[in-house]
A and B are shown apart, each in its own frame.
Chain A
């Protein structure tokens, strides 16, 4: 079964760092783009950025450029989203999603990771 499994919920304080993960299985992880999507409480989906695990080429939405870092470790089929200094406004659900092998859409989604930033 093709799936993406994300790390568990996180509760952090403003200014702390964080790295959440997304592990792929059931397919050739290195060969497919993995994107990250933010969903703030009660709000819509926001595309954040994407990585091609095979060469670590990354692209970011202008809204998130410089705010987060996307990376991947092909040896353990895992992609990451990290923050160096969290803000309360980073409180949200974060999803990873695989770009479809057929087209420019996201066909497999992780279950989501809730990040809560509060003092």
Chain B
């Protein structure tokens, strides 16, 4: 059960869009439509931003969207704002009540 693969860092200017990828296998990302994304500010607990690949919990901005193709999922943040600067983690269900997370991506707003 290896961690999902994410880029270490991404960056963008205010107003732009950025995409963070999350690569797995057919045993996790590719095998289930249960990919989720979490936002974490320094010193804070993670917050659920996307679930079931592309669904947003109540209260999460529509600027956040998710998608999946094969064994790779993606998180897109459109209309970047300074407050979006944070670490982002993908997660995937792997069956039999087990999960795996990605290594995390540091998103910087230039």
**Interfacial residues, chain A to chain B (CB-CB below 8 A):** 33, 35, 37, 43-47, 50, 52, 57, 59, 61-63, 95, 97, 100, 102-107, 109-112
Q: How far, in whole Å, are A107 and B104 apart by their CA atoms in the complex?
A: 18
B101 and A46 contact, CB distance less than 8 A: yes
With A45-B38, A50-B97, A103-B51 already in contact, the answer to whether A109 and B45 are too (CB < 8 A) is yes
With A47-B101, A112-B45 already in contact, the answer to whether A105 and B89 are too (CB < 8 A) is no
Cβ of B69 < 8 Å from any Cβ of A? no
* Contacting residue for B98 out of A43, A50, A52, A111, CB 8 A: A50
B45 and A105 contact, CB distance less than 8 A: no
Number of residues on chain B facing chain A (CB within 8 A)? 27
Dominant SS among interface residues on chain B: strand
Supply 12 further A-B pairs (C-beta < 8 A) apart from A37-B46, A107-B51: A33-B97, A37-B101, A43-B104, A44-B102, A44-B104, A45-B104, A50-B98, A50-B99, A103-B52, A106-B99, A109-B46, A111-B45
Query: Which residues in A have their C-beta under 8 angstroms from that of B1?
Result: 61-63
B5 to chain A, nearest CB (A): 11
**Interfacial residues, chain B to chain A (CB-CB below 8 A):** 1, 3, 32, 34, 36, 38, 40, 45-48, 51-52, 55, 57, 89, 91, 93, 96-104
Name the CB-closest residue of A to B93: A104
B45 and A45 contact, CB distance less than 8 A: no
> Which 4 residue pairs across A and B have the least CB separation, nearest first?
A105-B36, A44-B104, A104-B93, A105-B51
Query: Which residues in A have their C-beta under 8 angstroms from that of B102?
Result: 44
Query: Which residues in A have their C-beta under 8 angstroms from that of B55?
Result: 103
